[in-house]
Structure 1
Amino acid sequence: MALYTTHLPQWKQDEVEQIVSLANEYRLTGLVDLHGIPAKQMQEMRRDLRGKAVLRMTRNTLVEHAFGSMGEPIDGINSYIDGQSALIYTNDNPFQLYKKLQQTMTKMVARPGDIAPEDIVIEKGPTSFKPGPIVGVFQQAGLPAAIEGGKVVIRERKVFVKAGEEINAKQADVLSKLDIRPIDVGLSLQVAFYDGTFYEPSTLAIDETEYYNNVVLAAQQAFNLGVYAAYPTAQTIEPIIAKAAGEARNLGVEAAIYSKDIVELIIGRASLQAKALKGMTE
């Protein structure tokens, strides 16, 4: 253990040792953000991860001590610690872990002070509310509301909160009343350290269907190029030979080079040309 950890109380030294031990035991060490996760939901998430990953909640300062004692490159994980971070360990690769954690995400009602993850749009149309003070509540929050046909209606489509903006108390109240749940709550991966490399969410958030289609397209284009360039491989040799045979046959027919394989084609071509010539002279 690094010298600067020896001044820590014994329980903290034990915690640092446990963090280091788990990092050495598992192939992947990551940080997840726990901000805003209710206790009940956290229990469910831990239960779902049992047997697949180890989630360890501890103080950020102890995490920094632990990885600082391990040196480069893993100590770089400390630069990603932010807010309510927790450690996660698994033998899955980063893409598998990211996908599992995304499955823990659920939509929650917004609270004052939450940041809109994307544009929150309220569509034009009737609501379930009857005429009353609710109209004023909507209007004070900046929502164009009115009474039509005995119901409260939203008169026009409205970008209620733009992505990245803070949701204020009035906006949160309106969103709750309309049962609009814009906040993603779950184990959000901040970074994963795997086989000596750091992986951030922006790298791991891939569309699997699009990725697969791109691989298929690339393989098809490589195959076509190999055939066109006559580059022999186990996959291209048969199409290359077939292409060459077809081109040789066409050349033989065009040049009227008599061969038992193409003589019928030459005669057929001559017959068609003769009929065409006859039609022009009649």
Structure 2
Amino acid sequence: MALYTAHLPQWKRDEVEEIKRHAEEYKLVGLVDFQGIPASQMQQMRRNLRGSAVLKMTRNTLIEHAFAEMGGEIEGINNHIEGHSALIFTNENPFRLYKKLQETMTKMAAKPGEVSPEDITVPKGPTSFPPGPIVGQLQQAGIPAAITGGKVVIRETKTVVKEGEVINAKMADVLSKLDIKPIDVGLSLQIAFYEGTFFEPKTLAIDETEYFNNLVLAAQQAFNLSVNAVIPTATTAGAIIGKAVREARNLGVEAAIYEKDIVELIIGRTQRESLAVKAIVEEN
């Protein structure tokens, strides 16, 4: 999109300068999509972010103006502007910001024409509906329903909308009546620019539990490798020495080498073997 850079009205000039000022003050500049967020929820999100981030809602063209004027790597943010974009400024690292924004997400009922972000499944079981027209409405939407014991019952679990499919009006109405809310609503991070690097959401979506477990496993494997390969470190030197002592002791016992530290072990082994032989003889 071509940008007109001269003769901006003063209020637009002020907006551009505010964006540039925030971009210079904060370590992270991000784009978020706020489409579909009710005003009351947006106000709550602003309160939740207060003190840790600044949310700036303005026109996309003014965002483009600001970063085009700044130039350099940060101008690449303009390549990610899409839909109803807003700016977020913070000194948090991008992983922490992404997690915080994910925590703002809530589930909402689907509207006709919306694209399903996931498979929508209607579970098997009783509903709260009394017998009536709802049975026909469910069946027309492809949901197997029947009347049992004076209640409307879903006869089997069924996926009614696949991820990426458009939710039609009939399906949206039925899902709303079943209180199924498949749409995530919240500030969705589009891109983050942090200390000269761009971070996409797919890079930031980390399962912290899995990540921690992988670190623990890697540490355990590195420890075992160091011990088994006899590569001493400050952490593994004690384990390596202990392993060497045990192996030397076992070798001494197996080879019947009479040293003061293993004589008792050799005698004990001999006694166990003689008892075993005695038991075999007595059985025969």
TM-score (norm 2): 0.92
CA offsets 1:180-238 (integer angstroms, 9 cap, x no match): 11111111111111111111111111111111111111111111111111111110000
CA offsets 1:116-145 (integer angstroms, 9 cap, x no match): 111111122222222222222223323222
CA RMSD of aligned residues (A): 1.9
Question: How much has 1:154 moved relative to structure 2?
Answer: 2.1
Q: How does 1:1-282 map to 2 (within 5 A)?
A: 5-277=5-277
2:259 is paired with a residue of what secondary structure? Answer: coil
Gaps of 5+ in 2: none
Question: How much has 1:77 moved relative to structure 2?
Answer: 1.4
Gaps of 5+ in 1: none
* CA spacing shift, 1:259–1:115, aligned 2, 3 Å: same
* CA spacing shift, 1:265–1:150, aligned 2, 3 Å: closer
1:5 is paired with a residue of what secondary structure? Answer: coil
Q: Distance in 1 between matches of 2:269 and 2:156?
A: 70
Q: Which runs of 4+ in 1 moved over 6 A?
A: none
Partner AA of 2:30 in structure 1: G
Partner AA of 1:69 in structure 2: E
Aligned length: 280
Partner AA of 2:193 in structure 1: F
Q: Distance in 2 between matches of 1:166 and 1:120?
A: 11
Question: How much has 1:5 moved relative to structure 2?
Answer: 2.6
Partner AA of 1:121 in structure 2: T
Q: Distance in 1 between matches of 2:23 and 2:217?
A: 39
TM-score (norm 1): 0.93
* CA spacing shift, 1:73–1:263, aligned 2, 3 Å: same
* CA spacing shift, 1:281–1:39, aligned 2, 3 Å: closer
Question: How much has 1:106 moved relative to structure 2?
Answer: 0.9
CA offsets 1:225-273 (integer angstroms, 9 cap, x no match): 1111111111000000111111111222222222221222223333344
Q: Distance in 2 between matches of 1:179 and 1:274?
A: 76
Q: Please, which moves more after superposition, 211-220 or 3-12?
A: 3-12
Partner AA of 2:178 in structure 1: L
Partner AA of 1:191 in structure 2: I
Partner AA of 1:36 in structure 2: G
Q: Distance in 2 between matches of 1:280 and 1:137?
A: 81
2:112 is paired with a residue of what secondary structure? Answer: coil
Identical-residue share of aligned pairs (%) = 72
CA offsets 1:3-49 (integer angstroms, 9 cap, x no match): 96334333222222211111111111101110100111111111111
Q: Distance in 2 between matches of 1:277 and 1:42?
A: 83
Partner AA of 2:68 in structure 1: G
